[in-house]
Amino acid sequence: MFEHNHQVYTAREIVQHYSQLRQLQPAEQSILDLLSNRWSHMKMLDVGIGGGRTTQYFSRVVKEYVGIDYSEEMVSVCQKRFPSSSQLRIEVGDARDMSQFPDNSFDFILFSFNGIDVISHSDRLRVLKEVSRVGKSGGYFFFSSHSLQGLEREFKWQNQISLNPLKTYVNMIMFALLRFFNRSISLQQIKHSEHEIIQDESHNFRLKQYYIRPQEQLNQLKAAFENIRMYSWKSGLEITTQQELSDNSDMWIYYLCKIK
């Protein structure tokens, strides 16, 4: 099932889609600003670079930039866009096995735009271990992941109604497709799970993605990471209180963690 996700990321139209993305997401901009006086000392690993959306911003400011992706097709597009230099390198690599890098190699590791969500639960845990191994102690891991809280909202038809009838119509169609592709999963199940695999609307329901309850994500991280901060992907603002977290219905959340 997860091999199919890999195939999706090798498809020509998908590679083209990612190579046309240009904007940083608000939470990514927040971190770019937050660490502005540190970048010039940092060696960065960008995992799952896709078409290089984040490369254009981060490679300019860091001391050294290495980008990897497990899709050869994504890598070759990126290599054309960003020719290698003494400061920048892009290569094929899989986050589940980064044995090409020694321990304690990087100051900042990014896995943006929910790239970590297209692999299985056990592979996700392997990725977290690999990140903590190749990252320096005191370095950062910044990534986003789909939120089960956000999905809970999408699973209720009542939330699809808007004052604009056209919007309601489109929402209802997307709602029906979401429920159809995930017909074995009930709203009750979503409410009570810690994580679920969901065939969601990205790339026309071609991907199966991991959704996790934010609190459970914190539990998953605590063995290898500390000082975990959460950011709304949409507003870019840090989620600082328990109330803000329980009210949050973003479809994905960014996590900034320090490697232990």
Ligand X SMILES: C[S@@+](CC[C@H](N)C(=O)[O-])C[C@H]1O[C@@H](n2cnc3c(N)ncnc32)[C@H](O)[C@@H]1O
Of the candidate spans 36-44, 50-58, 175-183, 220-228, the one that interacts with ligand X by CB under 6 A turns out to be 50-58
Establish if 119 lies at the interface with ligand X (CB under 6 A).
yes
Least distance CB 39 / ligand X (angstroms)? 18
Structure tokens at 163: 């004052």
> Phi/psi at 95 (nearest 5 deg)?
-60, -20
Number of residues in contact with ligand X under rule CB under 6 A: 23
Cβ 183 to ligand X shortest distance, Å: 25
Q: Which is nearer to ligand X, 204 or 241 (CB)?
A: 204
Tell me the C-alpha distance between 237 and 190, whole Å: 26
Residue 47, interface with ligand X (CB under 6 A)? yes
Pairwise CA distance, residues 1 & 106, whole Å: 31
Q: Does 69 help bind ligand X (rule: CB under 6 A)? A: yes
How many other β-carbons are positioned within 10 Å of the β-carbon of residue 98?
22
Does position 154 interact with ligand X (CB under 6 A)? The reply is: no
Is 146 a binder of ligand X (CB under 6 A)? Answer: no
CB of 82 to ligand X, least distance (A): 13
Helix orientation angle between 12-20 and 72-81, rounded to the nearest 10 degrees: 40
Residue 3: its H or E element: helix 2-8
Please give the Cα distance from 254 to 119 (Å, whole number).
18
Stretch that binds ligand X, among 37-45, 78-86, 109-117, 217-225 (CB under 6 A): 109-117
- 74 lines the binding site for ligand X (CB under 6 A): yes
CB 146 within 8 A of CB 252: yes
Give me the amino acid identity at 32: L
Site residues for ligand X per CB under 6 A: 9, 18, 21, 47-50, 53-54, 68-71, 74, 94-96, 112-115, 118-119
